[in-house]
Amino acid sequence: MPITISQLLAWKSEGRAIAALTATEYATAKIMDKAGIDLILVGDSLGMVALGYKNTLPLTLNEIIHHTKAVGRGISNALLVVDLPFLTYQISYEQAIASAGRVLKETDAQAVKIEGGYPDLVKTIEKLTARGIPVMGHIGLTPQSVHQTGYRRQGNEPSGAEKIFMQAKDIAEAGAFAIVLEHIPSQLAQEISQTIAIPTIGIGAGSGCDGQILVTHDLLGLSEWQPAFVKKYADLQTVITDAVSSYCKDVRDRSFP
């Protein structure tokens, strides 16, 4: 049965944890969907892991739509959410509606995710949800602000923690259906999860969230570098290196074909 947004909300009240991962293309999305993942995010991390950009900022709306179309073709059950790239929603409410509208019209995605919790972005969430566009929030470490914050954990000081807590409440009240909490103290993530009515999806935010998400390239050991909070469930870099070297050797010594 395809997973819906109301299913995620029901799971929060039942205490059933939500398992989410990112995807960038058809083949792995299909495998992940069959393996039982609940939610697939075409995150703007695709700019780094699939397109080789230095950070998430250069990614365009056309690029993420192109990849989301491929991911969508591989999915039968998981809920599909897409990141709006840097400066495709921050300029004006009209721009945010147009960008989110393109994503929903041109792909199989059911929702968009936007980063940040400042009042105008909370208002953006209100404007999008009022137009029938489901939104997932994303606060704490927000990689689109890398030039301001780096990739450091956020909310370590009481004032920073208070700000993140208030942003989570505001985003939930603005109508978001879920919120990503990235790289914040686990105690803070747990307090937010126990306070707001919508599911929290943590990444580097401890076990007290309503669900977890990781970048699939990190989980599978395909990235050159992973944050310390990542658990590597496979080492595909070694698997691929061994397979390709064996193939090269077999071709060169004519043992294949």
Nearer to ligand KIV, 41 or 103 (CB): 41
Among positions 83, 126, 170, 210, the unique one binding ligand KIV when judged by CB under 6 A: 83
Half-sphere exposure of 86 (CA within 13 A, CB side): 15
Q: List own/partner pairs for 52-56 with CB under 8 A and 24 or more apart.
A: 55/143, 55/146, 56/85, 56/86, 56/143, 56/144, 56/146
Instruction: Compute the distance between CA of residue 202 and CA of residue 70 in angstroms, rounded to an integer.
Output: 26
Site string for ligand KIV, 140-179 (x = CB under 6 A): ----------------------------------------
Window of 38-46, 97-105, 171-179, 248-256 that interacts with ligand KIV by CB under 6 A? 38-46
Residue 58 and residue 127: Cα distance in Å, rounded? 25
For the chain, the first-to-last Cα distance in angstroms comes to 43
Q: Which is nearer to ligand KIV, 13 or 138 (CB)?
A: 138
Instruction: CB nearer to ligand KIV: give 207 or 245.
Output: 207
Q: Find the shortest distance in angstroms from Cβ 215 to ligand KIV.
A: 5
Residues sharing a CB contact under 8 Å with residue 63, sequence separation 6 or more, in sequence order:
46, 47, 51, 85
Which amino acid is located at 31 in the chain? I
Q: Which CB, 33 or 83, lies closer to ligand KIV? A: 83
Contact 231, 213 (CB under 8 A): no
Q: Catalytic residue, from 94, 115, 126, 182: name it.
A: 182
Contact with ligand KIV (CB under 6 A): which of 23, 61, 172, 215? 215
Please state the closest distance from residue 22 (CB atom) to ligand KIV, in A: 4
Does position 44 interact with ligand KIV (CB under 6 A)? The reply is: yes
Taking CB under 6 A as the rule, which mask of x and - marks residues 188-207 in contact with ligand KIV? ---------------x----
Unique residue bearing structure tokens 């007290």: 208
* 182 classed as catalytic: yes
- Residue 15, sorted as left (phi over 0), alpha (psi -120 to 50) or beta, turns out to be left
Q: How far is the CB of 7 from ligand KIV (least distance, A)?
A: 20
The verdict on 219 binding ligand KIV (CB under 6 A) reads: no
**CB-closest chain residue to ligand KIV:** 43
Which one, 142 or 256, has the nearer CB to ligand KIV?
A: 142
Is 45 a binding residue for ligand KIV by CB under 6 A? The answer is yes
Q: Report residue 157: phi and psi, to 5°.
A: -90, 150
Which region among 2-10, 43-51, 147-155, 163-171 touches ligand KIV (by CB under 6 A)?
43-51
Is the distance from CB of 39 to CB of 79 less than 8 angstroms? yes
CB 103 within 8 A of CB 68: yes
- Can you read off the two tokens belonging to residue 231? 């658990």
* CA-based radius of gyration for the chain: 19
Which residues participate in catalysis according to the annotation? Answer: 182
Q: Name the residues that contact ligand KIV, by CB under 6 A.
A: 22, 41, 43-45, 83, 138, 180, 203, 213, 215
